[in-house]
Amino acid sequence: MTPTTSSLHTEVQRVLPHHPISPGDSMLALNRLLCAAALVLAAHGVQAAEPSEASLETLMVVSRAERNIDAVFSAMQPMLKRMRTEMMPGTLSAEEEKRLDAMEAKMLGVIRDELSWAKLKPLTMQIYRESFTQSEVDGLIAFYQTPAGQAFIEKMPLVMQKSMMMTQSRMKPMMERIQQIAQEAAAEGGKK
């Protein structure tokens, strides 16, 4: 046994006094530990390449990201009208209708401004840069250039619109149930 092996064996025995380990086991454990440490360090040291600005720009173009934002805005206006109709089932006067239309137009203007592609693009690029590797961005670009990728792009606005409508249709029953729970809790609190 070499001095290093002996001191390692002694140290292992000191740390784990109730676990008899032979000097050969100590060396095997050390080798395994060193291999594991080397793998961890190697994996940590090999960081995936951050996507380039050019590839992110290409991804934004082939995925038609700006057009998808516009599609969301187009779907918002009818959704707001439906929500207004559901929330105010009574008949509105012409003046009230006019004021609500003006308010909705202003709200949509603010939303369109704050969520414009000019403001969202830098944020989207940052999120993609932090979330995807260059290899993944290259794969996404390749996908969006396939017929399946093009179909995905073409159909996503409709999928999103239908999803928003479906979610909206679930809001009324959900709110009714939540109100029921709140009323029951209030009634329970009044009994005490």
**107-144 tens-digit pLDDT:** 888 988 888 899 999 999 999 999 999 999 999 999 99
* 150 in a structural domain: yes
Is residue 133 within 8 A of residue 52, CB to CB? The reply is no
Residues 91 and 137 occupy one common structural domain = yes
Domain of residue 139, residue span: 53-171
Q: If you average pLDDT over residues 62-84, what whole number do you get?
A: 80
Task: Give yes or no: residues 39 and 71 share one domain.
Answer: no
Q: Which of 75, 66, 62, 36 is nearest to 163 (CA)?
A: 75
Query: What is the total count of domains within the chain?
Result: 2
DSSP sequence for 156-186: HHHHHHHHHHHHHHHHHHHHHHHHHHHHHHH
In whole angstroms, give the CA distance from residue 12 to residue 21: 8
CA 143/CA 152 separation, integer angstroms: 10
How many Cβ atoms sit within 10 Å of the Cβ of residue 165? 14
Q: What is the pTM of this model?
A: 0.57
Distance CA(5)–CA(17), nearest Å, equals 17
C-alpha–C-alpha distance, residues 176 and 182, integer Å: 10
160/93 same-domain check: yes
Same-domain pairing of 123 and 80: yes
Assess if residue 177 is contained within a domain. Answer: no
Is the pLDDT assigned to residue 24 strictly greater than 60? no
Identify whether residues 139 and 62 lie together within a single domain: yes
Q: Are 109 and 102 in contact (CB under 8 A)?
A: no
